[in-house]
Chain A
Amino acid sequence: MSDEARRLKPVDVVVVGGGWAGSIMAKEMTEAGRSVVMLERGPDRSTAADGAYPASIDELEANFRYKLFQDLSKNTVTIRNNANQTALPYRRMAAFLPGEGVGGAGLHWSGVHFRIPPDDLRLRSRVIEKYGAGFIPEGMNLQDYGVTYEELEPFFDKAEKVFGTAGEAYKVNNEVVGQGNVFSPSRSDHFPLPPLKDVYTAHLFRKAATEAGFHPYSLPAANASQQYTNPYGVQMGPCNFCGYCSGYACYMYSKASPNVNILPVLRRHPLFELRPDCHVLKVERDSTGTRATGVTYTDADGKVVTQPAEMVILTAFQFHNVRLMLLSGIGKPYDPVRNEGVVGRNFVYQNVTTSTVWLDPKVETNQYIGAGGGGVAFDDFNSENFDHGPLGFVGGSPVWVNQAGVKAIAGAHAGGPPGTPRWGSAWKAGMIDTYRHSLRIDAHGANMAYRDVYLDLDPTWKDAYGQPLLRMTFDWKDNDIRMNRYVVDKIGDVAKAMGARDVHLTKREFGSPFDTRQYQTTHLGGGAVMGTDPQTSALNRYMQSWDVHNVFVIGANAFPQGTGYNPTGMVAALAYWAAHHIRTTYLAHPGPLAG
């Protein structure tokens, strides 16, 4: 296809994907004086159009017809539980919801904005130190990121300031300064905004979790708790807890998004050009195969175009980054049989289950109120904050009330307690009781990486452009199910302290396979991970391809295994981290930054 493609005038940097990672990298590269073209597969998007109130808060359009999400009729993935099955295409949005359009997942996200537990960055080393190498289950590819919390801290700080993140610190410069998460590492500065107010259910949870002996804290939220002006000079409005966050463009300009927080400045920059509706087909390489020469894409009119560039930065969604590497021959594809290759290796998900607590019928839980990033959590069973020795599993899970605003259709979908009829007056009574008097508590757990869980190109199914779909081979493993069941039991303790009338604890069941039909989370990770060993990582610790030095790949694809936290804060920090090293080292001396 490249032979027929129209070649455009070269630019310094082409950025593939218009979400958080792409916008951060484009901003950083223009600051460094480089010309940047950002290619986005989907349409351009803005608050003025997609967030125009009141049309913007149409739950049917947003959450059930997936206005801001990927068009699966053009491109999707195939899924199977194990290598003995034939994968089939994911044709209907359900388990996970990849975004599309300028802003990407950063436009439709909720806004939970975490850093990462320092132990998670060196989980393999930490587990071996604490429990010995024999503690790691057979077939688990436990790895370190190759970067430490101390190295990333300035970039977490920068991202929080750009996002206008609301939260309460525990330690700043190693001094206890507030009621934040006692398990969180020291920070160089406070959050730029104070935490969001607790909604009523979060208030109850905070009290009950304390009584149960845990250490609750306010979820760090990129939902502005006050109006805010970020270091780029852009303004955010204050969150009014309307609850229309996940799946929506925030009409109050209070949920951080690339569209609100970075692109207003970038769009005015003379070195920046955004091209929406451009679907990248592959990264082009020179005859040696070790240097990228640009990308080839189909534009809005369906014409195939080559954009030459000195540098290619892949910033698409996690699995699209992996697929582009596979389609472009960047890095060795993973072979689970021979346990060789790196692209597609260590594909991970997140291990989330939601339990429901019913309170006294006199207590109105007001679940229609909410903020996507707000709530109260405790980390007593996350990361290495507890002794896994007697428990026999790796990984952990924060627990939280993250009341993001239950809307009408979702409330009706949720229905009543288990066993309630699915129609008629009993259904109606159960649904109303649940909507008015219940609350939900999540165990938002990590998912470990395994040798036989991976991504590769599907041998059968192709997308609208004739390219093979990406194939997911994924199932839950006993280690992760044990972790989930252990942590969910703790939710029972909190529910008891709340004086619950009824509790439904949702746990993973042994032998129950990954089910694509139920929404779980869009926090997919891995597949092109970072690390210090080219045999087990596709990217070095600067997010640079080991094999093609002028290709950087930014996203949750870099996580060697899952974490209990939402990934966006880590992705943003990794973007600023990579950009810092590109600006301070790579641009002057292009070549491998590690090796």
Chain B
Amino acid sequence: MRGVWKCGLRPMAAALLALSALGNQPARAQDTPPRPELVTRGEYVAQAADCAACHTMPGGAPFAGGLAFHLPTGTLYAPNITPDAQAGIGGYSEAEFIRAVRNGIRRDGATLYPAMPYPSYARMTDDDLHALYAYFMQGVRPVATPVVQDGMHWPLSMRWPLTVWRRLFAPDPAVTLKGATARTFPDPLVARGAYLVEGPGHCGACHTPRAVTMQEKALTAEDGPLYLSGGAPVDGWRPVSLRGENRTGLGRWSEQDIVRFLATGRMPLGAAFGGMTDAINHGTQHMTADDQLAIARYLKTLSPTMPARAPGWAYDPAATSALRAGDVSARGARHYVDSCAACHRTDGHGYPTTFPPLAGNPVVMDPAPDSLIRIVLEGNTLRATKQAPSAFVMPGFAARMDDAAVADTVSFIRAAWGNDAPAVSVADVARIRRSLSPEHPPASLPMN
């Protein structure tokens, strides 16, 4: 669940606060006081739970909130969860904090919008939440800037319907935790992976389809094959299936591919984009190698949602041969050669892990072309991580290509190299182009 920046005074104020605190000197390692082990562990839990993705604005003070979610029902702002007593959660007792995280109930008894993934957090252990509380109270600097909720339209600006929703759809943490201990796993690593993915990692919040009433159709692997089978577009990005589909899921990703992806946002079959960029940036890259492996091993236990109707992806060199022979008669081929092939190559293999492949890339073959169209229009930034300090920027083509040209290009990419995914229409591109927010940030550009 990532949002789009709301330009306004709130982010600016937070940015100013952050700036004034930075000063002129480089931070010196020895200036940082040692922290209790519990707080450090809580910080790790906060990373595993990706709290910062919503509650920290890029360049803003950590956890001071303000991130805007543009929902069909209005705009929701992520609250300030720093330990400031007035603006943040400084007044919360540990029990109140845990109730908010697991049950979605605010200190005053109101129900939180389920943008807060408490249906997943319900699975978090007492130990993790105890550490998380210690971290938020002692490891986070209080910020006194409140976040005002004024963007939701009536009737969804009222909280009581949320309470009904919560009672209907959010799991009871007591039951959930009991169920978790009763589950059996092939090995402890898979058990750990299940906990991270279904609990703090709340992967299903994006990657599991939701019902019309907005609850996730499955909250764990036990709930059936819809779990992590791909979600509805979030902010225009379509979260792909994390299950074992050969073409459109993780069927051809090895455990090590997944580990590498979680650590660096890049692996030989693809690169991160959209909301996953934040999830990696704030979350998965900070995880231990063991936890990354646990997630990978667990994800590899998820079978395809449905038995495959088409054979698995295999490279088809026909498009490559045509392009190399100068034949650009296929729909979109000429655009592809002119605008895409320098990095992604006429053979579609790209230069992994620098420029991702399009041949056999699950995102390219996804039934919903939304992400692919949006990347072509807007471009994408593969962010630097601790292990992969280089960022790579793909330029957007919205200003250079009209809807027909984008539709042709995307259709070419989806058809070529054995991808065999359906073409996209000009209307599809027009729809995505309309959805691009004019407020879309000039995404803070990487500096390499």
Q: Which residues of A contact B (CB under 8 A)?
A: 8-9, 11, 35-37, 44, 46-49, 52-54, 227, 232-238, 240, 242, 252-253, 259-260, 263-265, 267-268, 270-273
Contact = CB atoms under 8 A, between A and B. Distances in A.
Contact of A270 (B26, B355, B389, B446): B26
Given A46-B447, A53-B395, 13 more contacts: A11-B26, A48-B391, A48-B447, A233-B388, A235-B353, A235-B388, A236-B390, A237-B343, A252-B343, A253-B354, A259-B447, A268-B384, A268-B389
A272 B27 CA distance: 8
Contacts of A54: 395, 400
Nearest to A274: B447
A393 to B, nearest CB: 45
Nearest to B400: A54
A153 to B, nearest CB: 28
B381 interface: yes
A29 to B, nearest CB: 12
A236 B391 CA distance: 10
Contacts of A271: 26, 28-29
Nearest to A270: B27
18 contacts: A11-B26, A44-B447, A49-B445, A52-B393, A54-B395, A54-B400, A227-B351, A233-B388, A233-B389, A233-B390, A236-B354, A238-B354, A253-B390, A259-B447, A260-B390, A270-B27, A271-B26, A273-B25
7 nearest CB pairs, A to B: A48-B445, A264-B448, A235-B390, A273-B26, A264-B389, A48-B393, A46-B447
Given A253-B354, A264-B390, A37 B447 contact: no
A260 B448 contact: yes
B437 interface: no
A46 B445 contact: yes
B28 A47 contact: no
A48 B396 CA distance: 12
Interface string B343-358: 1000000010111000
Contacts of B27: 270
B400 to A, nearest CB: 8
Contacts of A236: 354, 390
A52 B395 contact: yes
A47 B342 contact: no
A272 to B, nearest CB: 6
B165 interface: no
A270 B31 CA distance: 11
Given A260-B390, A264-B391, A234 B448 contact: yes
A8 B392 CA distance: 35
A220 to B, nearest CB: 22
Contacts of A268: 384, 386, 389
B351 A46 contact: no
B29 A270 contact: yes
B24 interface: yes
Contacts of A238: 351, 354
B354 A9 contact: no
A46 B448 contact: yes
B384 A237 contact: no
Contacts of A263: 447-448
A47 B393 contact: yes
B387 interface: yes
B207 to A, nearest CB: 28
A9 B389 contact: no
Nearest to A307: B24
Interface in B325-380: 342-343, 351, 353-355
Given A234-B389, A237-B343, A252-B343, A37 B395 contact: no
A6 to B, nearest CB: 10
B389 A35 contact: no
Nearest to A258: B448
Contacts of A265: 389
A50 to B, nearest CB: 10
Nearest to A9: B25
A57 B448 CA distance: 18
Contact of A47 (B25, B353, B386, B448): B448
Nearest to A265: B389
Contacts of A260: 390, 448
A54 B390 CA distance: 21
A270 B32 CA distance: 11
Nearest to B31: A270
Interface of B: 24-29, 342-343, 351, 353-355, 381, 384, 386-393, 395, 400, 445-448
A273 B26 CA distance: 6
B354 A35 contact: no
Given A263-B447, A264-B448, A227 B342 contact: no
Contacts of A235: 353-354, 388, 390, 392
Nearest to B27: A270
A236 B354 CA distance: 7
A238 B353 CA distance: 12
Given A52-B393, A238-B351, A46 B26 contact: no
A263 B395 CA distance: 22
Contacts of A36: 26
Contacts of A270: 26-29
| B24, B28, B390, B393 — most chain A CB neighbours (10 Å) | B390
B351 A237 contact: yes
Contacts of B390: 233-236, 253, 260, 264
Contacts of A52: 393, 395
A253 B390 CA distance: 10
Nearest to A232: B389
Nearest to A236: B354
A264 B447 contact: yes
A252 B29 CA distance: 35
Contacts of B24: 8-9, 273
Nearest to A305: B24
A238 B392 CA distance: 13
B32 to A, nearest CB: 9
Contact of A264 (B351, B381, B384): B384
Nearest to A275: B24
A232 B388 CA distance: 10
Contacts of A227: 351, 354
B26 A37 contact: yes
A579 to B, nearest CB: 19
Contacts of B354: 227, 235-238, 253
Nearest to B355: A237
Contacts of B400: 54
Contacts of A273: 24-26
Nearest to A269: B26
A252 B25 contact: no
A11 B27 CA distance: 11
Contacts of A237: 343, 351, 354-355, 392
B347 to A, nearest CB: 13
Nearest to B342: A240
A242 B390 CA distance: 22
B348 to A, nearest CB: 15
A309 to B, nearest CB: 12
A252 to B, nearest CB: 7
Nearest to A240: B342
A47 B25 CA distance: 26
Contacts of A242: 342
A265 B390 CA distance: 8
A8 to B, nearest CB: 6
B393 A233 contact: no
B377 to A, nearest CB: 15
Nearest to B446: A48
A392 B370 CA distance: 72
Nearest to A267: B447
B381 to A, nearest CB: 7
A233 B26 contact: no
A308 B400 CA distance: 49
A242 to B, nearest CB: 7
B264 to A, nearest CB: 10
A259 B29 CA distance: 25
Contacts of A46: 445-448
